[in-house]
Every structure is written in C-alpha cells, then in structure tokens.
Amino acid sequence: MELVAEKQGNAVVIKVKGRMDALTSPDFEKKCLSWLERESKLAVDFGELEFLSSFGIRTILVIAREFKAVGGHICFCRVTGMVKNVFILSELHNKFDFYGSLEEALGQF
C-alpha cells in the first residue's frame, strides 16, 4: 500500500493506493493519527484503493473514533468497486460522509 499525505486548505488529504489489509492497515492508522496532533479534518481518497479487508474497516473505525474524540471529522472520496461494496456490506456507508471527488470532500469542511 502506498500512502501520500498532504495539507490542503484546512484539511489533510491522505491518498491510498493498493491494498488495505492486516499487514498494511497499521501504516494507514499511524499516518492518520500522526496528523491528528495538528489537524482535525481528514479527507481520505480511496480512488486507487483496490482491496479493503475487515481489518482495514476496523482501522477506519479506530481512526474515526479518535478524530471524533477531539471534535474532528473524517470523510472519504472516490470510493468505488469492491471497496464501496465492503462499506455497504459492513453497513458503514451510512455512518460516514462519502463524496465523488476530492474537491467535493474538501468543500464540505
């Protein structure tokens, strides 16, 4: 999995590419939580994420809880295909904000 994080406007954008599973999810969690020390708004771009396991979902829930605890907000954009199906099957598609593009996601902050 490849992760690229950068500050854009009043939020942090993390672009994820590849697979998020038991081996790679800890890197994603560490990267997201490292930004929490400075920023409370996180937009995650899953446009190039090919696979999301149940461990990845667990990691997303941990990160969301941490952001919420400090009054922060996390949203997702460009979620398609198998990754979108995982969110739907796990019934998390109604618990998070999803946007079709990164620009839409950043606009909601």
**H or E element in which residue 29 lies:** helix 25-36
CA atoms within 13 A on the CB side of 8: 19
What was the pLDDT predicted at 36? 86
Question: What CA–CA distance (Å, rounded) separates 21 from 1?
Answer: 9
Domain extents in the chain: 2-107
- Give 6's contacts (C-beta < 8 A, 6+ positions apart): 12, 13
Fold that domain 2-107 belongs to in CATH:
Transcription Regulator spoIIAA (3.30.750)
Per-residue pLDDT of the chain (109 residues; tens, 9 = 90+): 999 999 998 899 999 999 999 999 999 999 999 998 888 999 999 999 999 999 999 999 999 999 999 999 999 999 999 999 999 999 988 999 999 999 999 998 8
